[in-house]
Structure 1
Amino acid sequence: MNKIFRKQQLTPYEADYAQWCAEQGALLREGRLSDLDRENVAEEIESLGRSDKREIASRLGALVLHLLKWEFQSEQRKTGWLLTIREQRLRIRGLLDESPSLKKYPAQVLDREFKIARLKALDETGLRDRDFPVHCPYGIKEILDDDYFPGSPWSSDNLMRE
Structure 2
Amino acid sequence: MSDLSLLYEDDFSAWTAQTIALLRQGRLADLDIEHLAVELNDMGKSGRHELVNRLRVLLAQLLKWQFQYRRLTARWAEIEGKGWRSAIIEQRAALSYLLDKNPGLRSVLADGIAEAYQQAVEMAAEETELPAAIFPADCPYDEGQVLGRGYYPPSE
TM-score normalized with structure 2 length: 0.83
Assess, with a 3 A threshold, how the Cα gap between structure 1 residues 8 and 63 changes in structure 2: closer, same or farther: closer
TM-score normalized with structure 1 length: 0.80
Contact 1:64 1:117 in 2 (8 A): yes
Residue 136 (structure 1) aligned with residue 143 (structure 2):
no
Query: How far apart are 1:72 and its partner, in Å?
Result: 1.1
Aligned pairs for 1:19-98 (under 5 A) are 19-74=14-69, 75=72, 76=77, 77-98=80-101
Root-mean-square deviation over aligned CA pairs: 1.9
Q: Unpaired runs of 5+ in structure 1?
A: 1-6, 153-162
Q: Secondary structure at the match of 2:8?
A: coil
Residue 113 (structure 1) aligned with residue 116 (structure 2):
yes
Which has a greater percent of helix?
Answer: 2
Query: How far apart are 1:60 and its partner, in Å?
Result: 0.7
Looking at structure 1, the residues matched to 86 and 102 of structure 2 have their Cα atoms a distance apart, in angstroms, of 24
- Aligned-pair identity in percent equals 38
Assess, with a 3 A threshold, how the Cα gap between structure 1 residues 10 and 37 changes in structure 2: closer, same or farther: closer
Query: How far apart are 1:104 and its partner, in Å?
Result: 2.9
Query: How far apart are 1:65 and its partner, in Å?
Result: 0.5
Contact 1:11 1:19 in 2 (8 A): no
Query: CA offsets per residue over residues 94-149 of structure 1, 9 Å max, x none?
Result: 22222222213121122221111001111111112332222211112111111210
Query: How far apart are 1:24 and its partner, in Å?
Result: 1.3
Q: Unpaired runs of 5+ in structure 2?
A: none
Q: Specify the code of the residue in structure 1 equivalent to 2:44.
A: G
Assess, with a 3 A threshold, how the Cα gap between structure 1 residues 8 and 98 changes in structure 2: closer, same or farther: closer
Query: How far apart are 1:63 and its partner, in Å?
Result: 0.4
Query: How far apart are 1:43 and its partner, in Å?
Result: 2.0
Contact 1:60 1:106 in 2 (8 A): no
Q: Specify the code of the residue in structure 2 equivalent to 1:42.
A: A
Deviating above 3 A after TM superposition, structure 1's stretches of 4 or more consecutive aligned residues are 7-11
- Aligned residue pairs: how many? 146
Contact 2:51 2:95 in 1 (8 A): yes
